[in-house]
Amino acid sequence: MKTFLDCVPCFIRQALDAVRLATSDNITHERVLRGVMDAAGRMNFKECSDVFRRQFDKADLVISKGQGNYETLSDVEKNIFFILKAKCPVIAQHIGCDLGSLIIISRRKEAA
């Protein structure tokens, strides 16, 4: 699953909420917002480092925490357990759960 355009506002809101908790500095808020806007929609598993990819490929099982990891890895053919909270209506609909649900999903690699 790719990051849908509808997910971007949730992603931005969560980042701004976090930076506002960390600091009241408006310049820092702006820097974080610019960074988030630059990254939104460009997250790609294939762009990970070679070291990470080798370790990932060697693993028999992956435990993935968080909605962002679900968005990045849900189409990867591997034995993966996803642990997340469905924070975005688009993701909740994709998974088939209620918004705000705590979810554990198992994705099994199809036998060759």
- Which domain does 90 fall in, by range? 5-107
Is 59 domain-assigned?
yes
For position 81, what pLDDT does the model report? 94
Note the pLDDT tens digit of each residue in 76-103.
888 999 999 998 888 899 899 999 999 9
Closest CA relative to residue 80, chosen from 54, 40, 109: 109
Per-residue exposure over 1-33, b if at least 16 CB sit within 10 Å of its own CB, e if not: eebeeebbebbeeebeeebeeeeeeeeebeebe
44 has pLDDT over 80? no
Is 112 domain-assigned?
no
Give the chain's domain count: 1
Alpha helices in the chain (DSSP H): 8-22, 26-39, 50-58, 67-73, 89-95
Q: How confident is the model at residue 2 (pLDDT cuts 50, 70, 90)?
A: very low
For position 70, what pLDDT does the model report? 87
CATH number at residue 67: 3.40.50.10880
Q: Which two tokens stand for residue 86?
A: 């469905």
Cα–Cα dist 70/3, whole Å? 10
Is 60 domain-assigned?
yes
Note the pLDDT tens digit of each residue in 3-36.
444 566 677 777 888 888 999 998 988 888 777 7
